[in-house]
Structure formats: C-alpha cells, structure tokens
C-alpha cells in the first residue's frame, strides 16, 4: 500500500506538517549567529544554541498546527536543482 492510498482510504483527513529543512536550518544559524555576537559569545563549537533553536522551532510549529504527521524535507548534496541550475 502506497502512502497516497493510505491517505485516501482514511476516514479522517490527516493534518500533515511539511517543513523545509534547509530553510529552517539557515534561519536558525543566522539567528544564533546574530544573538551570539550580540551577547559576546565568540564561538559555539558544539552548535548547542543552534540545535536548541532548530528543535524549538519545530515544537512551536507542532504546537500551532497540531499535525498528525511531521515531515522535514532536506535535500541531499546531489539534487536535481543543482543539475538544472
């Protein structure tokens, strides 16, 4: 049974949250870098704050939209967009 069939055959519609992983990663890196420089943190080698912002953003989206499923889409290093470009 394919995913599409399982979605069609359900009595209740599913609420799926689709997250653009690359966008979220770059947003959180930018925010973490701005806030670290604002508070005088020179180097976050463990990326602890970035990880916190990333996971916290996902939790906020889940809280806001109350999905039944969450899908985080992230491109691989080799993808069709690079080939087309």
- Using left for φ > 0, alpha for ψ between -120 and 50, and beta otherwise, residue 78 falls in beta
The band of 11, judged by pLDDT with boundaries at 50, 70 and 90, is: low
Q: Token pair for residue 61?
A: 């989206």
pLDDT of 54 above 70: yes
Position 6 scores a pLDDT of: 61
The band of 71, judged by pLDDT with boundaries at 50, 70 and 90, is: very high
Q: What is the mean pLDDT of the chain?
A: 81
Position 14 scores a pLDDT of: 83
Task: Looking at 9-79, list the stretches that DSSP marks H as alpha helix, in order from N- to C-terminal side.
Answer: 21-38, 48-65
């Amino acid at each position: 049974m394919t995913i599409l069939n399982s979605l069609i055959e359900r009595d209740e519609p599913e609420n799926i949250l689709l997250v653009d992983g690359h966008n979220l990663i770059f947003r959180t890196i930018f925010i973490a870098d701005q806030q670290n420089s604002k508070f005088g943190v020179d180097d976050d080698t463990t990326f602890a704050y970035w990880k916190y912002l990333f996971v916290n953003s996902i939790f906020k989206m889940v809280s806001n939209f109350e999905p039944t499923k969450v899908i985080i889409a992230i491109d691989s290093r080799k993808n069709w967009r690079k080939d087309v470009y």
